[in-house]
Structure 1
Amino acid sequence: MHLIPAEHADRRTIDGHRVCDAIAAIGEPGHVRSWAGRFALLSDPGRLALLLALHRAGPLAVSDLAVACGMRDPAVSQALRLLRTAGAVAGEKEGRVVRYAIVDPVVADLLGHCAGDNGPTE
């Protein structure tokens, strides 16, 4: 099956069948954007530290996350706001305390790889 778009059909290819395989592997643009968004969340060291802390320790409050990650409370709150908007974390209120946890299973799986949950990475 040839997946080369009509607008590129006139372009020369070396391994046409591999080009078709590559196009199939890339898939839908929306799917690619979704994955790129997840990786963008993980690309900031502060957000990644917060997510790794939540991944390993479970639900934590802003002040506890700040201490664990060596950040200030406002920076943690700002990062969590972004992570909440992206659907990666959610907060659960217990009295006056809000504890945050990872709710996106794909992000949790990626963090498992980052944290070495799936064996050595080096």
Structure 2
Amino acid sequence: MHLVPEEREHWRAIDEHTVCDAIDAIGDPERVHAWASRFALLGEPGRLALLLSLHRAGPIAVSDLALATGIRDSAVSQALRLLRASGTVAAEKDGRIVRYRLVDPQVSALLDSLG
């Protein structure tokens, strides 16, 4: 079992080939962590609604996001801070108005799959 980490080599396997396939499917632990973080962002209904709005409507202001989603401006701003910190969205200043857009292509692809 060439892919089993040394600290687990003594563990019993029923189907060694399947174990190696499973380890290969998991891949890089950092990649798994990155995807888990993305799914955590999508796992809260308010943030998911914001991301869907950003994905479909393009750059949009906080007050317009609040109106579209039914979430208070302050809660939208708080969620957008989190989404900006994660690199999922970016802000663009247009005079006094700040508009937000989705910039993470992997989150965009996930949202596309929602139909």
Shorter-chain TM-score tier = over 0.9
How many angstroms apart in 1 are the aligned matches of 2:18 and 2:61?
49
Aligned-partner Cα distance in 1 for 2:113–2:59: 19
- The answer to whether the aligner puts 1:31 opposite 2:19 as a matched pair is no
Calculate the aligned-residue CA RMSD, in Å.
Answer: 0.9
Task: Tell me the matched-pair count.
Answer: 115
Aligned ranges 1:31-50 → 2 under 5 Å: 31-50=31-50
Aligned twin of 1:120: none
Q: What is the aligned partner in structure 2 of residue 99 from structure 1? A: 99
Q: Which residue of 2 aligns with 1:80?
A: 80
- What amino acid sits opposite 1:72 in the alignment? R
Tell me, in whole angstroms, the C-alpha distance in 2 between the residues paired with 1:14 and 1:88.
41
AA matched with 2:36: A
* Alignment partner, residue 119 of structure 1: none
* Residue identity (%): 67
Per-residue deviation, 1:5: 1.3
Shift of 1:28: 1.3
| Runs of 4 or more consecutive aligned structure 1 residues displaced over 3 Å after TM superposition | none
Structure 2: how far apart are the matches of 1:20 and 1:58?
A: 43
